[in-house]
């Protein structure tokens, strides 16, 4: 029952991130005076729709994410009444169209930033996450595992000092493994060989101290920019690896992997899950900005080309390149998804 509930929470949360993205396009289009034909919750076929003003608000059968249909965006409205031509995306200046195109990723960045600000304001208990356990080392011999957290010790230096002060003496470490908390006792070595840790573990510092509002907002903004940069480097590595080194796919997860991680994260509590959603929202920023046709970044690229050459890219060329871009994305997604599924068994 808990697994099912966690799965439903994850689906609803990821759908929210997509709706936030689409809301960015919607509000930017309305601000520019365009006709927004439909704002859909979920994907067709439609269950029902209600027209509010000029926009149909629809509820659809596929309950994941949503979409916005802006008049003139796809250039398929030649028969629309002339009275609406002034409210067409295609009749806007280039810079206003660019604003509408990137408004979705701006909303995802803002949403990720807000979520991280909440995390920093509430705080997460600081701990040391064990990322590797050396076979035959002290930690391995007492049953410490990768993914365990050492609680009540906030930094690697604090742990090192604690161990150095108690070499040859029995010490206790409070360990958290999922929902379980327990104590492990051990005796640090007096003589440690060069280039070896005393306990035989690798660690990273996790958690955040509680901050006031302004400090949290500033820290979250800086952290969001740092996350974006690391995500960008990761996507570049993935795209290059698709043509040069397929082993790079082992470092990435697709929808199946994200679902699995999200379900596990919900079990850690509300704040860790909010932090996870902020990272996914920031991932959507970089993903949608990639200059690949079929993504916002592809549309942005065509608009920049239009501005440089003084005339729009031909619709036929845009459709063909978008089709190839979509095929490339689906191929990457399929490879990563197969890898994620195999990892489950």
Tokens of 310: 């003084």
Per the CB < 8 A criterion, the answer to whether 145 and 130 are in contact is: yes
User: What is the per-residue pLDDT for 10?
Assistant: 75
User: What is the per-residue pLDDT for 198?
Assistant: 85
Angle, helices 2-31 vs 255-266, to 10°: value is: 110
- Topology (CATH) of 124-208: Pdz3 Domain (2.30.42)
Closest by CA position to 76, among listed 67, 87, 88, 58: 88
What is d(CA 344, CA 261) in angstroms, rounded to the nearest whole number? Answer: 12
How remote is the C-alpha of 51 from its chain's centroid? 33
User: What is the per-residue pLDDT for 77?
Assistant: 47
Task: Name the region of 33 (left: φ>0; alpha: ψ -120 to 50; beta: rest).
Answer: left
How much is the CA Rg of the chain, to the nearest whole Å?
25
Closest by CA position to 29, among listed 5, 53, 12: 53
In the chain, domain spans: 105-122+216-343, 124-208
Tokens of 275: 């932090």
32-66 as b/e: b if 16+ CB within 10 A: bebbbbbbbbbbeeeeebeeeeebbebebeeeebb
Per the CB < 8 A criterion, the answer to whether 273 and 184 are in contact is: no
Q: What is the pLDDT along the chain (345 residues), one digit of tens a residue?
A: 556 776 777 778 888 999 999 999 999 999 999 999 999 999 889 999 999 988 999 999 988 888 999 998 875 444 455 456 678 898 899 999 999 999 999 999 999 999 999 999 998 877 788 888 888 888 888 998 888 888 888 788 888 899 889 999 999 999 988 778 889 998 998 887 766 778 888 887 777 788 999 999 999 999 999 989 988 888 787 777 767 776 666 656 566 566 666 666 666 678 888 888 898 899 899 989 988 877 899 899 999 998 898 888 887 887 888 788 778 777 777 776 676 666 655
What is d(CA 110, CA 220) in angstroms, rounded to the nearest whole number? Answer: 11
- Identify the H or E element spanning 70: strand 55-70
- Identify the H or E element spanning 207: strand 201-208
For residue 303, the 8-state DSSP code is: H
Its pTM stands at 0.76
Per the CB < 8 A criterion, the answer to whether 198 and 188 are in contact is: yes
Q: Where are the alpha helices (DSSP H) in the chain?
A: 2-31, 94-122, 138-141, 156-164, 213-244, 255-266, 270-289, 296-309, 315-343
């Amino acid at each position: 029952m808990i697994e099912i509930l966690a799965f439903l929470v994850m689906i609803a949360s990821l759908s929210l991130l997509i709706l936030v993205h689409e809301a960015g396009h919607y509000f930017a289009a309305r601000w520019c005076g365009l006709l927004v034909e439909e704002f859909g919750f979920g994907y067709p076929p439609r269950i029902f729709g209600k027209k509010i003003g000029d926009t149909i608000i629809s509820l659809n059968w596929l309950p994941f994410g949503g979409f916005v249909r802006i008049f003139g965006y796809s250039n398929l409205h030649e028969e629309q009444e002339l009275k609406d031509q002034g409210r067409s995306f295609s009749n806007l200046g280039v810079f206003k169209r660019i604003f509408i195109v990137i408004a979705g990723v701006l909303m995802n960045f803002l949403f990720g930033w807000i979520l991280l600000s909440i995390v920093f304001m509430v705080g997460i208990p600081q701990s040391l996450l064990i990322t590797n356990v050396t076979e035959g080392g002290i930690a391995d011999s007492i049953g410490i595992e990768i993914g365990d957290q050492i609680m009540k010790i906030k930094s690697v230096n604090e742990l090192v000092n604690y161990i150095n002060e108690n070499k040859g003496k029995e010490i206790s470490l409070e360990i958290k493994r999922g929902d379980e908390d327990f104590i492990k006792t051990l005796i640090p070595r007096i003589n440690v060989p060069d280039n070896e840790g005393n306990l035989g573990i690798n660690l990273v510092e996790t958690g955040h101290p509680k901050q006031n509002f302004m400090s949290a907002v500033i820290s979250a903004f800086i952290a969001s920019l740092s996350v974006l940069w690391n995500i960008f480097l990761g996507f570049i590595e993935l795209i290059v690896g698709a043509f040069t080194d397929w082993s790079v796919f082992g470092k990435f997860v697709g929808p199946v992997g994200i679902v699995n991680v999200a379900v596990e994260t919900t079990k850690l509590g509300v704040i860790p899950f909010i932090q996870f959603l902020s990272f996914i929202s920031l991932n959507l920023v970089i993903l949608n900005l990639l200059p690949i046709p079929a993504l916002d970044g592809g549309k942005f690229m065509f608009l920049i080309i239009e501005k440089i050459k003084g005339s729009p890219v031909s619709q036929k060329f845009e459709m063909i390149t978008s089709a190839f871009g979509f095929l490339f994305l689906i191929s990457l997604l399929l490879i990563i998804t197969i890898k994620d599924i195999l990892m489950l068994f």
